[in-house]
Amino acid sequence: MGNDSGSGGVQSVDRAISVLEILSRRGEAGVSEVAAEIDVHKSTAFRLLGALEARGLVEQAEERGKYRLGFGIIRLAGGVNTQLDVTQRARPVCQRLAEEIGETVNIAVLRSSYAVNLDQVRGASAVTAYNWVGQITPLHATSSGKVLMAHLDERQRDRVLSDGALESFTPRTVTDLDRLKEQLTEIKRTGYGYCLEELEEGLNAMAAPIRSYHGDVVAAVSASGPAYRFTAERMHELAPVLIEGADEISRRLGYAG
C-alpha cells in the first residue's frame, strides 16, 4: 500500500476502508471472505489486512485465519471523542463567559496548520450573527491559533510554520516569523494570547488554552468582538476571567494541574 501512487493509491485507501467496514459489520472475517466482498484476489486482501495489522487497526482472532478490528481503532476514535468531550463539557462555561464578557465565545482545536472552530456562544453585546462553527482559520492570525501553536513542541511548531510565508490578511497581521515566535513565548508566560485586527479589520480576539486530563493543550477558548469596544485594554482586563473559564473546562476534562 505504501508504494501506491495516484489513482492506485486512492483505490488502496478505499479498499482498506472497506475492509474495516466489513470487520465492523461482521465482527470477524477471513481473507477469502474479505476478498469476495471487495472483489479482489486473495493475495490483495492478504496484503491489505497485513498493512492494517501493522498499524494495529486489525488483529488476528483466536481462530487462525480470521481477522477482527484492533485496538488502534480506539486510538483513532479518541481524537473525535476528545472533540465531542470538549464541546459538551465546555458549553456551560462558554455560556457563562459569553454573559460575563458580553462577546462571542468560541472553542477551537488544531487541525494541520489551521484552527477549526467547534462551538460558539454569542454574548448579549455581539453585533453580528456570523457563525464561526466549522470554519478553519489561520494559526498565526487568530488568538486561538496562536494559543494552540504556542503549546506545540518546537518540532511540531517548526513543521506547522514550514508551509511557507505567513499570509497577510490585514495591515496588522504579524508576518514576521521572529516576532510571531516572541508572541508565542509571551503566550506561554501569561497564559493567554490576543490579536488586534489581524484576521479582519475591526475584529479583536483573545484566547486561553484548554488541557486534557493528561495536561496536553487540546483546544482553545476565545472571546472576540469589535475593536472599538473590545480593545486591548479591555481584553487585558478580562484575561483572568477567560483564563479561569479555560481552567474550569480543563477541570471538566479531568485535568487536575
Q: Is residue 5 scored above 70 in pLDDT?
A: no
Strands of the chain (E only): list them: 29-30, 58-60, 66-69, 104-111, 114-121, 136-138, 193-196, 203-211, 217-226
Q: Alpha-carbon Rg of the chain, whole angstroms?
A: 23
In CATH, 6-70 is 3.40.50.720: no
Q: What is the third-level CATH fold of 77-252?
A: Beta-Lactamase (3.30.450)
Percentage with pLDDT > 90 across the chain: 50
Flag the least confident range among 27-36, 68-77, 141-150.
68-77
Position 47 scores a pLDDT of: 92
Helices within 162-231 (DSSP H only): 177-190
Place of cell 493567554: 192
- Model-level pTM greater than 0.75? no
The per-residue pLDDT for range 149-174, each reduced to its tens digit, is 999 988 888 887 876 678 899 999 99
Cα–Cα distance for residue pair 85/196, rounded to 1 Å: 30
Contact predicate 68/91, CB 8 Å? no
Phi, psi at residue 132, to the nearest 5°? -90, -10
Position 4 scores a pLDDT of: 47
Cα–Cα distance for residue pair 123/97, rounded to 1 Å: 8
The Cβ of residue 122 has, within 10 Å, a number of other Cβ atoms equal to 18
Domain ranges of the chain: 6-70, 77-252
